[in-house]
Amino acid sequence: MTFENQGYYVAGGRTGVLLMHGLCGTPTEMRFVANGLARTGCTVYCPMLAGHGGTEADIKSTTWQDWYGSAERALDRLCKECDTVIVGGLSTGAVLALLLAARRPADVQGTALLAPTLWLNGWLIPWYARLFRLVFSTRVANLIGFPDLHPHGIKDERIREFIRNALFSGDGSVAGLPSTPGGAVLEHRRLVQATCAELGRIEQPTLIIHPREDDYADLDNAWYLQRRLKGLVDMVVLDDSYHIVTVDRQRHVVVERIAAFVGAVAARLSGKAGSARNGATARAAA
């Protein structure tokens, strides 16, 4: 079953921003950031990734290639309507954004990575979760579950309570699933392996926003990317948020930094286009 038509889209100008949610999440976790960017005039699209927004059976029936297919279709839509496109995402969504940048360099002008998760190694992750690295079979992996534990990636207690109630409401289209099947975690690992093999191809400018106290993905995830990406990297470390930075205490900072990054990329590309036009005019006059 697919829930991709449940994505969140805000029409705007010729600068587009593609924002992808995390593993077993939904576009709901991206709406605050999307609305903030839309107010700056951007066209913003937050797609529902394949297999998400439904039941555990739905997510178990998909692979990382299916998720990437959702990301590509969303990028195709933005490319038809925008001259400049920045791709970004939260957690696993950030990894998908990197793969798009590597494989579609002509269509992606920059990446905005929010708590990018290559490894589940935050302070909340129990030591025995490391044993999952020994699991390579999807069938075996799906015998294991990874419950969404307190504090659910959110430091703000009021927002955390709201998200917790949504998680356990039984409606996966709102806040996602309260437990991540092991098969999805295994697919995430395979996605990371495919993406890391192509990091050297990513030359677009990148913004990385990562919380120092990330309960799911330690800050070394961000530092690893900062060292290996070939383009300019702007690194922002949040000091009052947990993993889901798009809804936590510093969500306004996230919006401000992404908006500034998108504006800078668009202005630089506009300047290059203007210089090219002026050069062509000068040559014609000569």
Query: Which residue in this structure is represented by tokens 């504090």?
Result: 151
Give the residue with greater pLDDT, 128 vs 22: 22
Q: Give per-residue pLDDT as tens, 159-189.
A: 999 888 877 777 656 677 888 999 999 999 9
> What mean pLDDT comes out for the span 118-142?
92
Residue pair 206/213 in contact (Cβ under 8 Å)? The answer is no
- Phi-psi label, residue 208: left if phi above 0, alpha if psi -120 to 50, beta otherwise: beta
Through-space distance between the first and last CA atoms of the chain, rounded to whole angstroms: 62
- How many Cβ atoms from other residues are within 10 Å of residue 61's Cβ? 14
Joined together, the tokens standing for residue 268 give 């630089």
Cα 38 versus chain centre, distance: 17
Question: pLDDT band for position 31 (50/70/90)?
Answer: very high
> What mean pLDDT comes out for the span 2-13?
77
Residue pair 86/268 in contact (Cβ under 8 Å)? The answer is no
Q: Is the pLDDT of residue 259 over 80?
A: yes
Helix (H) or strand (E) holding 68: helix 64-81
Residue pair 102/121 in contact (Cβ under 8 Å)? The answer is no
Listed residue (113, 74, 80) closest to 195, CA to CA: 113
CA–CA–CA angle 233, 234, 235 (5° rounding): 110
Q: Is the pLDDT of residue 282 over 90?
A: no
Could you tell me the CA-to-CA distances from 64 to 8, 67, 257 in Å, in that order?
A: 21, 5, 29
Q: What are phi and psi of 194, to 5 degrees?
A: -65, -40
Average pLDDT of the chain? Answer: 91
Give the full edge-to-edge strand order of the sheet including 206-211: 8-10, 43-46, 15-20, 84-90, 110-114, 206-211, 233-238
pLDDT at 29: 95
* Residue 135, C-beta contacts closer than 8 angstroms, at least 6 positions apart: 141, 144, 182, 186
Q: Give per-residue pLDDT as tens, 87-128.
A: 999 999 999 999 999 999 999 999 999 999 999 999 999 887
* Residue 269, C-beta contacts closer than 8 angstroms, at least 6 positions apart: 83, 84, 109
**Architecture of the 4-285 domain:** 3-Layer(aba) Sandwich (3.40)
Burial of 268 by CB count in 10 Å (0-12 exposed, 13-18 middle, 19+ buried)?
middle
Listed residue (246, 57, 217) closest to 125, CA to CA: 217
Domain boundaries, the chain: 4-285
pLDDT at 262: 98
Q: What is the Cα–Cα distance from 272 to 134, expressed in whole angstroms?
A: 49
SS3 state at 110: strand
DSSP 271-285: HHHHHHHHHHHHHHH
Share of the chain above pLDDT 70, in %: 91
Listed residue (11, 34, 10, 12) closest to 21, CA to CA: 34
Q: Is the pLDDT of residue 4 over 60?
A: no
Q: Is the pLDDT of residue 274 over 80?
A: no
